Chain A
Amino acid sequence: MLPTPHVSCDYDKVYEPSEDSFLILDALEKEQAFLRTYFRSKPTVVCEVGCGSGIVTTFMMQNDIPNEHAIYLPTDVNPWAMDSMVESASLNNCCTKMLSPIRTNLTSSIRPREIDFLVFNPPYVPAESVPYMPLDSEANEGDWLDLALLGGDDGMAITWKLLDSLDKIMAPGGIAYILFCARNHPEKVVKTMSTRGWKCELTEHRKAGWEVLSVYKFYR
C-alpha cells in the first residue's frame, strides 16, 4: 500500500481529508499500473478540481500518477486551499515536480481540451442550494468549508456543471475520476454520460459511516 501524504492545515478554512479523500487515493493506487500503460510517456496535464488540503495531488506527485511526465495544475476557489496545496507538496518533498496551482472555479480558466487527467472530489452533500461565492474581503472562514461540501439538488449541482462540459474540458484520450455518494444517484449519471458516448466504470466503492462512496472513471 502506498503511504498517505502528511498534510497539516487549518481545518477551519480548508476541507479536512476524510473518507472520500482516502477512497480517491485508493482508487488511484488501484489504477496506477493501468494509467502508466495508458499514458506511457506522453506529457500529461493533470488537474485536480477542488484540491483543498492538497492531499490527492500530493499523492499523485509522490507516486508519479498518472505518469512521470505530468504537469500538475490543481484548482480551488478557496484561497487557503492554494496555500495548503503548496505546503503539502513541500512537506512531502515534491518540490522537484512540475506543480502550479491555479485559483479558479472548476476548470474555467484552463484552455479547453487540454486536461489529460482530471480528479474531482466534488461538494456532493445534498442541500437546498449551493452557497454563493463570497468576496475575499467579506468571507467568513466557514464559507469556504460550505462551498467544499454542499452540492445543491441531489448534491449534484456542481458535479453536473463539470460533467456537462466534460467534452470541452478533456483532451482527446483524457480520463476523469469523480467521487459520488449514493444520494447523488451515480447510476443515473452513468446512464446519461453513456448516452453521450462516455465509458463509465466503477473504480472503487466503500461504505463510510452512513454513506456509500464510489469513484467512477469516465473516458472515451
Chain B
Amino acid sequence: MKFLTSNFLKCSVRECDRSNENFPLKYNGEKCQLEQDESLEFNPEFLLRIIDRVDWSAVVSVAIDLGNSSLPSSKPEFTSEDLSDEDMIILKDLHTLLIKTNIVEGEMSCRNCGHIYYIKNSIPNLLLPPHLA
C-alpha cells in the first residue's frame, strides 16, 4: 500500500470508532518492508492539494513508525503562487514519502484495541475474524 493510504485507514473494529485511538494505525517499523515506486511522476499541483487535504499529524506519526523522523510537526505551508526552489525540494521529498513509498510487507496495529493487521504483496488486509466482525 502507498504511504498516503495510511492517512485513510482506521481500525475496522466498530467499537474503536468511539475512541480517538483508532487512527492512525501504529506501523511496526521492524516488520515493514518499503519499496519506491518509480512509475508515479512528480506532480506538484496534485501534491499541493494532497498536502492540504491530509491529516498531517498522522503523516508524521506513521513516518516516525517507519523510521523517518525528519518531518516538521506542523504542516508545511506554501503561500505564494510561484513555488520557490526550496518549496520544490520539500514537495519532491513529500512526493517520495507519500506517493512513491510503498509498504510491500508489514504489520500495523490499532492503538485502541491492539488488533494486528497485515500487509502482504502491497495489500493491507483489514478484514476482521468472524468473532470481531
Partner of B126, one of A42, A104, A133: A104
A108 proximal to B (CB < 8 A): yes
Q: Which residues of B contact A204 (CB under 8 A)?
A: none
**Selected interface stretch from B3-11, B63-71, B83-91:** B3-11
Q: Known: A109-B11, A133-B133. Is A100-B45 also a contact (CB below 8 A)?
A: no
Indicate if the CB atoms of A98 and B126 lie closer than 8 Å: no
Contact with B along A18-31 (1 / 0, CB 8 A): 00000000000000
Complex CA–CA separation, A100 to B102 (angstroms):
9
Contact with A along B8-31 (1 / 0, CB 8 A): 111110100100000100000000
Indicate if the CB atoms of B123 and A42 lie closer than 8 Å: no
Contact with B along A73-115 (1 / 0, CB 8 A): 1000101001100100000000110101111110011111010
Indicate if the CB atoms of A43 and B49 lie closer than 8 Å: yes
| B111 → chain A closest CB, angstroms | 14
Contact with B along A106-140 (1 / 0, CB 8 A): 00111110100000000000000000110100000
Complex CA–CA separation, A159 to B24 (angstroms):
28
Q: Can you list 6 A-B contacts with CB-CB less than 8 angstroms, sorted by A residue number?
A: A77-B127, A103-B126, A104-B126, A104-B127, A109-B126, A110-B8
- A77-B127, A98-B99, A100-B2 are known; give 15 further A-B pairs, CB within 8 A: A41-B45, A43-B53, A69-B49, A86-B122, A98-B40, A100-B4, A101-B123, A102-B123, A103-B124, A104-B127, A105-B128, A108-B126, A110-B8, A112-B17, A133-B130
